[in-house]
Amino acid sequence: MAIKDYKALANDIVKNVGGEENVDGLRHCVTRLRFNLKDESKANTDTIKGLDGVVTVMKASGQYQVVIGNEVADVYDAIVDTTNLGGDEASGSSNNAPEDDDRKLADKAIDFISGVFQPFLMPLAATGMIKGIVAILGTFGLNATNSGLYLLLQVAGDGFFQYLPVMVALTTARKLKMNVFTALAIAVAFLHPALSTSMTNDVLYTLFEGTPFASDIYSTVFGLPVILPSNGYFSAIIPIIVAVWLGSRLEKWFKQRIPSTVNSFLTPFFTIIIAVPIALMVVGPVATWAASLIGVFFTWLQGVSPLVFGALLAASWQLLVIFGLHWGIIPISYLLLAETGLNPLGPLMQISTFGILGVLLAMLIKGNEKKLRDIAIPGAISTLFGVTEPVIYGIMIPLRRPFIYAIIANIFAGAYAGAMDTVAYRTGGLGIFSLMNMIDNEGNLGANFWNVAISYAIAVAIGFILQMVFPVNRLEEELPAEALATSDASGNESSASQAVVSDAEMAVSAKEEIIASPLVGDILPLSAVADEVFASGALGKGVAIQPSEGKVLAPANGTVSVLFPTGHAVGITTDTGVELLIHIGLDTVNLDGRGYTSLVEKGQKVSAGDLLVEFDIATINEAGYDTITPVIVTNTDNFTDVLTTTEPVVARNDYLLTIVK
């Protein structure tokens, strides 16, 4: 929708970012205003998002970004005209902006982890529900040995959780603007069967024998011990994020120093061959020793005060799981069960689930936010059966306060269970089905069973009450933009086969219009673009191209409606009203035109196939920028759908998009 009053919008935006005095720098690229704010807490983000003409608001790269779309230059000009901000359009910048914002490190970490999990939260919740169905089947005596249905549902539910590191690596790479396939290569190394197989070899020696850090060594590298967690890295989260972060730093360093002619394969080669060994040699020991230390601490605490032990373990269990540190406690619980037939840790591990369940139930009753309910409903079902990951990463971490309520609830419930000396007699069911583990070996529902049930009820009740009484932020205030997108523009498939678009095909029918490719290169979905605004589809549907040739051609007959002074982005409005944006590279506005040559002017009429822009891929890559190019239909809402090619590679004038009217 066209903006009716640029000055009014400009004034509203400046006012709601905290006024001129709160702006330390302002620039704009082809779609968004990029503010550097002195204090982001003074910005009224919800108000700005609700302004006519604003697509969304992003907080990234130390900037407060107001996404406008094709008319961003006009809004920027209005700000310059009515304030003392900006004024250097040629370079796209005003003041020197700080590289990083001043948010607390903990807030940055929480925001980052939340953003990593948002893209796959709903599949995570869905597979959690499947695990719940498997748990129900297990209560009827079914298992993978005697039931084919159980086996199929088990792998359907467990597969996602087993290979969660792969999903985490992919989304982490996008957040860090790293090649996703290089990140996946690093992640799958952690899951390779050879790592677990190596632990069946003869023990070479025991490191730190006789201490809590005792570690059996099965292999060495140049004399240095390779230390692996006893349960491997399946379902690991933090170790994978750390490994991919290391890979992203290495990739950026090598990309800037390796000649462009061999950059495409030597950069991932050196990144992987360095990142994998370092990550495994460093992350492994840290994870192993931290888990061991935690196990020793809780064992000691149990002997000192069962009440404090119960409160602390129940309260911290979900946090330990997030960091993969719970593996220091689980072996102790198995050992106690094997030696004494009793496991005092079992009830406390399960209590943590019910504090979260109580909070979720209150959210469903009290809240009316659609985005929250979309996660909370399936999340509550999976939590009832002991699977909490969807709500932990989708609600608890982003909102923070509900997580605190759940922890408080678990403190009281755990204290009760610890004081009552509750135990588990066996392992097996999770969540509500864990109550079967509390029935004694004679099948009696004794005091132990009822005390555990009471502790579960305490956790639910306190979590429910705290969430009902105290307010929390709306989920959409905390989630990154990619999580708020209602659909993925990359999910559309075209029924058209790959072919060169002829003049006849370029013509418009009553129902659809064919758009040709403006570039030569590899096709990627928008979701692969390491920029949330493009990846989420907030600017419209389309596709991304990784160019192999530095020429941009007109994809249809039309008029140049957008041409950024730096040449890194060009917009075409076709003769039939389709508005196309071709954004050559990510954050390439920072190059100030270096590597780009514009061959057209704004307002110029062009024909399909006309040369619009030339760019030097090597120069852009050597400066540390990715040339991946989103091709977006910015007025997507005017059409029924935008379909994309299914082919992996396009040449000049090949079919790229179908506009369904």
As annotated, the active-site residues are 29
C-alpha span between 654 and 645 (Å, rounded): 9
Q: Considering just the CA atoms, what is the radius of gyration of the chain in Å?
A: 28
Burial of 196 per CB tally in 10 Å (0-12, 13-18, 19+): middle
C-alpha span between 314 and 504 (Å, rounded): 69
Angstrom CA distances, 120 to 112, 389, 479, 527, stand at 14, 11, 13, 12
Report yes or no: 115 and 482 within 8 Å, Cβ to Cβ. yes
252, two tokens: 């950026």
Q: In terms of Cα–Cα distance, which of 650, 644, 623, 657 is closest to 552? A: 650
Report yes or no: 460 and 357 within 8 Å, Cβ to Cβ. yes
CA 424, 429, 435, 436 torsion: positive or negative?
negative
C-alpha span between 522 and 180 (Å, rounded): 15
Question: Could you tell me which residues come within 8 angstroms of residue 345 by beta carbon, excluding any fewer than 6 positions away?
Answer: 298, 313, 329, 332, 333, 336, 424
DSSP character string of 226-289: ----TT-STT--HHHHHHHHHHHHHHHHHHTTS-HHHHHHHHHHHHHHHHHHHHHHHHHHHHHH
Instruction: Work out the angle between the directed axes of helices 346-366 and 330-340 (0-180°, nearest 10).
Output: 130
Instruction: Work out the angle between the directed axes of helices 306-322 and 401-419 (0-180°, nearest 10).
Output: 140
Angstrom CA distances, 504 to 336, 508, 509, stand at 77, 9, 10
